[in-house]
Amino acid sequence: MQNFMSIALLSAAIMVLGACGSANIAAPVPSILPPPISNPATNAQTPIERFGALSVTGNRITDSQGRPIALSGMSHFWSNTGYGQEGLYNPQVVQYLSENWNASLFRAAMGADEKGSYLDEPEANLKRAQNVVDAAIEIGAYVILDFHSHHAHEYPEKAVDFFTQMAKKYGDKPNVIYEIYNEPLDSADWARDVKPYSQRLISTIRAIDPDNLIIVGSPRWSQDVDIVAKDPIVGYDNIAYTMHFYAGTHGDELRAKTEIALQAGLAIFVTEWGTINANGDGDVAHESVEKWTKFMDKHCLSNANWAVSNKAEGASMFKPDTSQSGPWSESDLTESGKVVREIVRNGTRICE
Ligand code: MG
């Protein structure tokens, strides 16, 4: 904020000087500098301008200058037709979160599981995901293309088809991050199921896009990063692994697993987290949220909160019946929405 104010004041001063220098008519000298005329968002640097293309360096996500960074923002809800949150796959909510929440990161959770998903309605779901991706690119933010499935290794050809299209379309955009498997279930085995699937998808994407970040899921709803750490994927650059937590359910045990993975050299990216229980509902677990926020700060973990939603459940950032097209105000936010807004507002940074 201080930086912006200095830039705004400097711009205003330059504008005043410029006006005086370019015209012979005597302009009244203002006793104080006028307020900036343009929108603050047009003066401030976008996340892409600030950080550029992302890489993985050791166990950190780094920017184009090699600095470790953390991004922070929001995940959309399942895009499935009939789930009620399709209407929020729009540019207005991306702009609102960017301007009002200082979000640098978005996640298009393209449903690729259950009814009304990419599996049976590919065009509609692809369109929704692209609405969010295009809006994020437009405003210079980062965006995760998430194949939102619990069973993706059972139909890898669907994922291959999806990511082939997306890599061709967005592979030259530094904004885009590929998340190839949201949450494998505990019935999926890393070595038998998830690792071979991930290798196939990485190979597919890398044949088209040599460099954008790819994020890999792990068994047990993307919690068993310690198991992955013993047998990571090798031979490719810019591979990170996701860890998902829900503050009302998860605590020390999952933080310990995450530290094992970090110590083994894995870069961890929190593509989904909640303030509430793992089923997406319940009250905000304030104390646990605070512990998790400190943990993410300590380890420089980028994060996207679940969810951009007005469904009647604890995880939603909007209250039920809130407009899905905006404009939005403070009174539209749930308890979770208010807590998360503060975290997201302060979450994007260069780490020590
Ligand atoms: Mg690329």
pLDDT for position 67: 98
Which positions of the chain have pLDDT values less than 50? 1-42
Show the 3-state SS of 213-279.
Answer: CEEECCHHHHCCHHHHHCCCCCCCCCEEEECCEECCCCCHHHHHHHHHHHHCCCCEEEEEEECCCCC
- Condensed to tens digits (0 to 9), the pLDDT of residues 55-88 reads 999 999 999 999 999 999 999 999 999 999 999 9
Does residue 256 lie in a domain region?
yes
The Cα–Cα gap between 217 and 228 comes to 9
Does residue 246 lie in a domain region?
yes
Q: Ligand 1: distance of its center to the CA of 144 in Å?
A: 14
Q: Ligand 1: distance of its center to the CA of 206 in Å?
A: 9
Going along the chain, which residue ranges are E strands?
A: 55-57, 60-62, 69-70, 72-76, 105-111, 142-148, 176-179, 214-216, 239-242, 245-246, 268-274, 303-308, 349-350
Does residue 325 lie in a domain region?
yes
Does residue 200 lie in a domain region?
yes
- Condensed to tens digits (0 to 9), the pLDDT of residues 143-191 reads 999 999 999 999 999 999 999 999 999 999 999 999 999 999 999 999 9
Does residue 72 lie in a domain region?
yes
Token pair in block for residue 321: 């019946």
Contact (CB, 8 A) for 288 and 247: yes
Q: Ligand 1: distance of its center to the CA of 54 in Å?
A: 10
Give which of 261, 184, 199 is closest to 230, Cα–Cα.
261
Question: How many domains would you assign to the chain?
Answer: 1
Q: Ligand 1: distance of its center to the CA of 210 in Å?
A: 6
Does residue 230 lie in a domain region?
yes
Report every protein residue that has its C-beta within 5 angstroms of ion ligand 1: 171, 209, 211-212
pLDDT for position 16: 39
Does residue 302 lie in a domain region?
yes
pLDDT for position 44: 77
The Cα–Cα gap between 171 and 17 comes to 44
pLDDT for position 142: 98
Does residue 41 lie in a domain region?
no
CATH assignment of the domain containing 149: 3.20.20.80
DSSP code of residue 194:
I
**Domain span including residue 301:** 4-10+50-350
pLDDT for position 13: 41
Cα-atom radius of gyration of the chain, to the nearest Å?
Answer: 21
Q: Where in the sequence numbering do the catalytic residues fall?
A: 183, 272
Q: Ligand 1: distance of its center to the CA of 212 in Å?
A: 5
pLDDT for position 43: 56
